[in-house]
Structure 1
Amino acid sequence: MNAAPPRKTHRAALVVIPPESVWPPIQAIRERHDAQFRRWMPHITLFFPFRPRERLREIRRALGPVCARLRPFELTLTRFAHFRQGPTRLVLWLAPEPEHPLIRLQAALRAAFPDCDDVHRYPGGYRPHLTVGRFVSRPRMRRLLERVAPHWTPLRFPVEQLAFIARDEDPRAPFRVVEWFRLGATTAKGPGAASGDTPAPRSDALPRN
């Protein structure tokens, strides 16, 4: 008899993925400074860990009504910020503004998945962010900021859908979109129905900073 799939796994997440049209300046930084560049596409986490893909039917039942009640909104990646992760690592991120639509969105989703509260339990609660770099050296992070922050052009984009992403057991496997869930709609879309269903553009196609 097969065991039931776990309730949560670190091989799945629910995220906001910016449209690929705004990826190039993000990926130009991530390729050099984010050790998770190959695993993750640019994203803003809503739930991680999350339900495994074997529970997709359950995810559809729970997410559908929530997404139908919500409306699309716009975000702008305007400024850089950072926080400490563990005793030695610094995480550099872009702040999505305004953040309150994401906080309200995550709270509405948490009502449908109350056990998926991992990111909400961080010190300070849920903090929307898009990671662009991971550092063990504060001077190195500061040098990067001195180089890129003064010339950063804010990136504005609509948030019209959420992405359920998952990866295989292979530690090198990248996350891929399993299904899109449109805000304000009652049906989900398959992975080929929108951009962002690949882990990242080819590194040789990225601009250099």
Structure 2
Amino acid sequence: MAPRRLPLHLSYRCALALLPPAAITPPLEAVRRERDNYFAHWPPHINLLYPFLKSPSNWEPSEPQGDVRATPPFHVSLICDQPSVVSHHASRKTVWLEPTSRSIHQLQAALQAEFSECNADNWRYRPHLSVGEASSDDGAKKLSSEITKSVSDFLACSAERPLMLDWYVDKVYVMEREGYYDRFEIVGAIDLGQK
């Protein structure tokens, strides 16, 4: 499926995103490898701005300014015992993990204010980390069970406590890919807490 048309200054080849550290991605990648149609194109991530400005790898090191860099680092947890499902239509569902931190919303709002020209959508921002797609409600339930089990086995958790993957967010990653079907690579980072 071809991407929808964008204003000329934006690109589906560029994004600002949060990336979980490699130490917590094995249970995510085990499921994504088999169930995520976008596994070859994206690392596990939470998008903050996508699509983004063309050619962010050409930025000056001082960009961005203000509230974005002043945003303090924060902890985030992905809720893994109750994955969310969004239904695009009857035969296409996406299963994702939602983060607990409201700080992501504050960071995204600061980025949106800094890069107001990236506001091509009127969608309400809903942070999430996609783990895969399903073609039916039953398939989505099965995928939800798979990711819950994968994380539970990885953490060796008992059922009594909430099942979460935690990490410390201290930077926003600038992502870019060569072509629409290529894999996103890190081309820069914006450090948080730099007043």
TM range (shorter): 0.7 to 0.9
**Which structure carries more strand by proportion?**
2
Give distance in 2, aligned partners of 1:16 and 1:146: 24
Deviating beyond 4 angstroms after TM superposition, the runs of 4 or more aligned structure 1 residues are: none
1:156 matched to 2:166: yes
Q: 1:142 to 1:94 in 2, by over 3 A?
A: same
Give distance in 1, aligned partners of 2:69 and 2:144: 39
Give distance in 1, aligned partners of 2:191 and 2:33: 29
Give distance in 2, aligned partners of 1:112 and 1:134: 32
Aligned-residue offset at 1:49? 0.4
Determine the structure 2 residue equivalent to 1:202: none
SS at match of 2:77: strand
Residue type at the aligned position of 2:64: L
- Number of residue equivalences: 176
Give matches, 1:1-209, under 5 Å: 6-53=8-55, 56-57=58-59, 60-79=61-80, 80-85=83-88, 88-98=91-101, 100-118=102-120, 121-122=122-123, 125-149=124-148, 152=152, 153-169=163-179, 171-185=180-194
Give distance in 1, aligned partners of 2:119 and 2:87: 20
CA displacement 1:39-58 (0-9 Å, x = unmatched): 00010000010012267326
Determine the structure 2 residue equivalent to 1:200: none
Give distance in 1, aligned partners of 2:181 and 2:172: 24
SS at match of 2:23: helix
Determine the structure 2 residue equivalent to 1:197: none
Identity across the alignment (%): 29
Aligned-residue offset at 1:116? 1.5
Q: How large is the RMSD of aligned CA atoms in angstroms? A: 2.2
Mind listing any 5+ residue stretches in structure 2 that lack a counterpart? 1-7, 153-162
Mind listing any 5+ residue stretches in structure 1 that lack a counterpart? 1-5, 187-209
8 Å contact kept, 1:47–1:118 = no
Aligned-residue offset at 1:86? 5.0
